Structures are given as C-alpha cells and as structure tokens.
Structure 1
C-alpha cells in the first residue's frame, strides 16, 4: 500500500491499481489478491481464515447489540472509531474463552472470568470525554437498591467545555445478556446541573429495577448544554458527550 501524491487524489481502479481513501488519506494498492470464496469454504489451508471469520462475525453481532443498548446515552451523536474500538474490546474478551475451540470462542465466556469483567470495566468508551474525569469524586454503588451515590460533590471541580452552561448526568443500569444479546436499560431521571449548582451530594436510582437478563452494568453518561434565552441546547462537540461503566454487579 502506498500513499497518493498529486493535486487531485484518484478514486477507483486504473491499470490494475486500486485508488481509495483510508482514514481520510488517499492511498493506492495493487488490485486483486483476495481470497477465492470457494477456497475459503473448502480448503484445509483456509481453516484459520474460516475460524477467524466466524469469531469476527460473532464479535460484530455483540458489538451492534451493545452499541444499540447504549444508544440512549449518546442520541444524535457520533463517536469517531466507536465501532472499531469496541471490536477490539470484544475480540480481547473472546480470547479469554478457554473452554471453546478456536473458531467458536465467545464473548460471554470471556466475561465469566475476572479478567474479562476487568477489561469491560476499564474500557474507555469516549476518550475525549471521560465521565470519571468529568466527575472526579468518590462514589459508592449500592447494588441491592441499584443506587449510585456521590457523597462529596462540588460543581467547582467539574470541568465545563467551551460554551457550556449546564451539564446533564444520566445514570442507568444496563442489564445485558452477552450470550443471547437480550438487554434492558433501566434509567434514573436525568440530572441537569448549572455551573452555580450548590448541592454537595448526588444520588441516582433507576425508575425501574433490572430483572436479571444477564450481566448488570452501572453506566454513567454526561452531556453538556448551553442555555440561550432560557432554552438548553445540546453541545455535540467531540468532548461534549461521555459514557463510562462505573461498576459491574458480581
């Protein structure tokens, strides 16, 4: 693969060379060289390719279902490379499945391990807006009541992005079955705070309780708003929307 140089980048196939864009940059490579579909399905030498393809498809299905389950936290917003970064997470979780043969390893098996739960808990969903940095406080999760408490809150320690006058905090419990891909999201009432908020503690409890579909995740979402003439407008800057898993029920 080579980079294109010139005033007008090309797109298409010319003289056996494919011209296209990769991550916004014009590149070129020799056309062809792909695997033959029949060979992939039948040849013994293609067994590893078939195994990788099967597991990739599985991780893709988990990825789509999981992103859709989290969608209420980032409605009308697009994250750069969100899909690809989640694919890395689910691929690594799948690798922790030591019970299944290669080609049949599954994400949910990886999440049955302590290492898998740690990977899920430590994953950075939104690098440009990390809720744990936006809310740099100690918190406690009371799983019997599904309540997240921030007992020592101070709005002065919350960073506000340019133009923001308010921040909205959305807490919820995502009940997600990584085997069947069934899910339910149980949300608390959103809390919208102005820069001059004077409260010293926060508490969030979902309106409905999970029924035990699968793994239960305590998720916090943050979004910034700007008030104009008494109306709040969401700021969709890349650093204006954040998601994080704060806790996982054991």
Structure 2
C-alpha cells in the first residue's frame, strides 16, 4: 500500500491498481489477489476467511450498538479511530468464548468469564484521556443505591487540558445485553466543577433504575469547558474526552 499525491482524488481501479481513501488520505495498492466474493463463499481453502468474516461481522454490529449506547459521553466529539479501538476489545472478548466453535464465537460468551469482565474494565477506551489518570482518586460504587462516590477529592490533583477552566464529570449505569444487544443508559446529573472547587467528596446517583436488561456497567466520563464572559464553551481537543467502564455489578 502506498500514498500518492495528485491535484484530484482518484477512487476506483486503473491499470490494475486500486485507488481509495484510508482515514481521509488517498492510498493505492495492486488490485486482485484471488480473494473474490465467489471464492470466499465456495472454496474449501477459504473456510478460515468465512469463519473470520462471520465473527468480525458480529463484533462490528455489536461495536456500532455499543457506541450508540455510550454516545452521551462523547456528544459533539469525533473519534477517528474509536471504532477500530473497540473492535480490538470485542474481538478479544469473542476469542475468549469457551463453548462455541470457530466461526460462531460470540462476545457475550467471553463476558461470562472473569477474564472477559476484567478486559472490559481494564480496556483504555480513551487512551489520550484516561479518567483514572485525570482523577487519581478511589471510585466507590454502591450498587444497592446506584451511587458513585469519590472520597478524598482534591481539585489541585485533577488534570486540566490547555484552556480549560471547568471539568464536567458524568456518571451512568449502562444496562446492556451483549447477547440481544438491547440496552438502556441511566444517567446521573452532570457535575461541572471550576478549577477553584473546594469540596472534598463527590457523589452522583443515577436518575432512573435499571430493569435487568443485561449486564450493568458503571460508566464514567470527563469533558472540559472554558468559561468566557460568563458563557461556557465545550472544548473539542482530542484529549478532551475521557470514558471508562470502572465497575460491573456482580
């Protein structure tokens, strides 16, 4: 694969070379290679390709639904590689499926294992802005009352991006069924705190209760604002959004 420069963008095949765009940049590669649609569907040698395509398609569909479910945490923000990053998570969870044969492995089976749940909790959803790095405090989740508490809070230890005067903290419980892909996001009121905030404890409780659709995930989000003449402006820097799944209800 090679990049090319031109006064205009070519899309298609010319002289045995495929021209297309990848992440907004024009690239090209030699056409062909034997991977025709018919060959993939029928050749015995393509069985692994068919199996991979089936599992990849399931993960991609889950990926789209999951991103829709957590969209309130990143409204008005564009993640160029968010889909591919989550595909890494979901294909890894799919590979943990201990009961299904290759080509039929599913994410929800992987999440039945403790290892799968740990993967969901430890995954870096937003590497440029990790909530536990921005807020280096303990997160206490009370699943009985669906309340998140951040004790021993000190604003001086919170990381701010350039230009930010306020930090917005959002907490929600995502009730997500990884088998049926049904979901409901239950949010708490967003806390928007100035740099000179002096409180030492934060507490957030969701406004509505989950109804048992599926796995209940504690999700935490960070956004930044700049105040100018009394008006609040949302900052759109690439490190201006932080999202994490920090707890799973047992």
Query: Which TM-score applies when normalising by structure 1?
Result: 0.94
Larger deviation, residues 12-21 vs 137-146: 12-21
**Which SS does the other structure have where 1:38 is aligned?**
helix
Matched pairs, number: 249
Structure 2: gaps of 5 or more residues: none
Preserved contact between residue 9 and residue 26 of structure 1 (Cα < 8 Å): no
Structure 1: gaps of 5 or more residues: none
In structure 2, the partner of 1:126 is 126
Aligned-partner Cα distance in 1 for 2:9–2:163: 40
1:234 matches 2:227: no
In structure 1, the partner of 2:155 is 155
1:88-167 → structure 2 map (5 Å cutoff): 88-167=88-167
**Which SS does the other structure have where 1:193 is aligned?**
strand
How far the C-alpha of 1:184 sits from its partner, in A, is 0.6
**Which SS does the other structure have where 2:162 is aligned?**
coil
In structure 1, the partner of 2:14 is 14
Q: How far does the alpha carbon of each residue in 1:215-236 deviate from its partner, in whole angstroms, 9 at most, with x for none?
A: 1111111100011111111001
In structure 2, the partner of 1:183 is 183
1:195 matches 2:192: no
**Which SS does the other structure have where 1:220 is aligned?**
strand
**Which SS does the other structure have where 1:68 is aligned?**
helix
**Which runs of structure 1 show a deviation greater than 4 angstroms over 4 or more consecutive aligned residues?**
6-10, 23-26
Larger deviation, residues 173-182 vs 126-135: 126-135
Q: How far does the alpha carbon of each residue in 1:145-167 deviate from its partner, in whole angstroms, 9 at most, with x for none?
A: 11111111011111111111111
Query: Which TM-score applies when normalising by structure 2?
Result: 0.94
1:50–1:77 Cα change, 3 Å:
same
Preserved contact between residue 175 and residue 210 of structure 1 (Cα < 8 Å): yes
Aligned-partner Cα distance in 2 for 1:190–1:10: 44
Aligned-partner Cα distance in 1 for 2:150–2:35: 55
